Amino acid sequence: MPSLCDTSSIVTSCTRRQLRQVLRQRRRALTPHQQQQASRALCQHLRQLPEVQRARRVALYLPNDGEIDPRPLIPWLTQRGARVYLPVLKPLSDNRLWFVHYHPGTPMRRNRFGIPEPYTRHGAHRARRLAGWALDLILLPLVGFDEQGQRMGMGGGFYDRSLAFTQRAGPRPRLIGLAHECQHVARLPAAPWDVPLDTIVSDARVVRP
């Protein structure tokens, strides 16, 4: 059973799928008050990072399934003159993302996973969207992380496919993974398709691999 997996050490008896279930259960078990406290602490850490302070095109996400909430960072970013973008599922593509400019009045709709994303009719959002390489910074949600900077996502590979270009020469954004501290494990099994992150931030720590 997934609940028997010991995530305080190197996980040898759990598959990645089982470990993902355990860590998702942990973050979903947090109370609204705990979520709010974690979000506040997370954003305090983020505001201290030089790469966040200097970024002008920043992608983040709307929390889902108990993910730690980066939304309190949005007013601070906009006050500094940064533009905020959200990931949007690319139509007619193999599970990839593009990034669309977002502000509080942006029309939204739910994608096929039930997650809100920016929407305007007749493709008018094309003028507001960017490819990942044109961003300065991408804040992405994690299911799990370790002290070595290894990460675990939801398993769909959306960010890995969309950010594979960061492994080649050329312009690239800084990549920061966000998670609750309860999603930290001593060691995660690595997968060859995982895109490395520059930094991981939780409500309790900043990990620089």
85 is in an annotated binding site: no
62 is in an annotated binding site: yes
Which amino acid is present at 169? A
Angle 196-200-204 from CA coordinates, rounded to 5°? 160
126 is in an annotated binding site: no
145 is in an annotated binding site: no
156 is in an annotated binding site: yes
157 is in an annotated binding site: yes
CA 91 to CA 98: how far, in whole Å? Answer: 10
DSSP element (H, E) containing 79: helix 73-79
18 is in an annotated binding site: yes
End-to-end CA distance of the chain: 31
154 is in an annotated binding site: yes
CA 27 to CA 141: how far, in whole Å? Answer: 12
159 is in an annotated binding site: yes
108 is in an annotated binding site: no
Sequence ranges of the binding site for ATP? 16-20, 151-159
Can you say which residues are annotated as belonging to the binding site?
Answer: 16-20, 62, 67, 151-159
Residues in the annotated binding site for substrate = 62, 67
